[in-house]
C-alpha cells in the first residue's frame, strides 16, 4: 500500500470519527491528511519531513481559520432570549392524549407523537384527551377543558 493511500485513509477515518466526537478537530486533521496524500500521489512532495510539514501546516491553518465557523453548525439551534415565549406558546391549546394515569397531579401525555411529562389539576386517566394550558419547557400543564384563545 502506498504512503499516499495511507494518508488518505487516515484522513477519511479522522473525518468519520468526527461524527462520534463533536470537538470539531478531527475533521481538520483529516483534511490535512487527505491533502498530504494527494500531494504525495501527485509527486509534489516526497520526503517524510515534507509530508509531516504539509500535514501539520494544513491542519493547523484549517483549525485556526475555519473551526469557529464549523463549530456553530454542530452546536445546534439556540433561541434568543425573547424567542422562548413564542416557541412555548405555539403548543397552547393543542390536543394531547394521556399516556399514563395521572398520579398526584403528574403523568405523561403525547403531543405530536412525543411523550411529555405533564401535570394537571384534573384527574386524568390513560387514553383521555386533554389540552395544553401552559408549556414550561420540559413539562406541560394540561386540562380536560380546552382553553379559549
The pLDDT tens digits along the chain (149 residues) read 788 888 888 888 888 877 776 667 778 888 899 999 999 999 999 899 999 999 999 989 988 887 666 666 555 545 455 444 445 567 778 889 999 998 888 999 998 888 889 999 989 999 999 999 888 878 889 998 887 76
DSSP H helices in 76-145: 83-89
> Euclidean distance between the first and final Cα of the chain, in Å?
70
CA distances to 1, 37, 51, 149 from 7, in Å:
11, 5, 9, 62
What is d(CA 45, CA 109) in angstroms, rounded to the nearest whole number?
Answer: 63
Fill in the DSSP letter of residue 147.
P
Q: Which fold has domain 83-143?
A: OB fold (Dihydrolipoamide Acetyltransferase, E2P) (2.40.50)
E strand or H helix at 119, and its extent?
strand 114-119
* pLDDT of amino acid 49: 93
**d(C-alpha 72, C-alpha 14), whole Å:** 20
Gap between the Cα atoms of 135 and 148, Å rounded: 16
Question: Measured between alpha carbons, how far is 60 from 66 in angstroms, rounded to an integer?
Answer: 10
Q: Is 137 helix (H, G, I), strand (E, B) or coil?
A: coil
Predicted pLDDT at 83 = 46
Locate CATH 2.40.50.140 in the chain.
Answer: 83-143
User: Do residues 139 and 119 make contact, with C-beta atoms less than 8 angstroms apart?
Assistant: yes
| Predicted pLDDT at 10 | 84
Q: 74: buried, middle or exposed (CB in 10 Å: 19+, 13-18, 0-12)?
A: exposed
Amino acid at each position: 500500500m502506498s504512503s499516499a493511500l495511507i494518508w488518505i485513509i487516515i484522513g477519511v477515518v479522522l473525518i468519520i470519527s468526527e461524527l462520534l466526537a463533536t470537538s470539531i478537530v478531527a475533521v481538520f486533521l483529516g483534511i490535512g491528511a487527505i491533502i498530504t496524500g494527494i500531494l504525495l500521489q501527485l509527486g509534489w512532495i516526497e520526503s517524510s519531513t515534507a509530508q509531516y510539514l504539509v500535514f501539520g501546516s494544513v491542519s493547523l491553518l484549517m483549525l485556526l481559520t475555519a473551526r469557529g465557523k464549523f463549530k456553530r453548525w454542530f452546536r445546534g439551534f439556540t433561541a434568543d432570549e425573547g424567542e422562548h415565549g413564542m416557541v412555548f406558546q405555539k403548543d397552547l391549546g393543542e390536543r394531547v392524549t394521556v399516556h399514563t394515569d395521572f398520579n398526584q397531579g403528574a403523568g405523561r401525555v403525547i403531543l405530536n407523537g412525543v411523550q411529555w411529562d405533564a401535570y394537571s389539576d384534573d384527574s386524568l386517566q390513560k387514553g383521555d384527551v386533554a389540552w395544553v394550558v401552559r408549556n414550561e419547557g420540559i413539562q406541560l400543564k394540561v386540562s380536560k377543558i380546552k382553553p379559549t384563545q
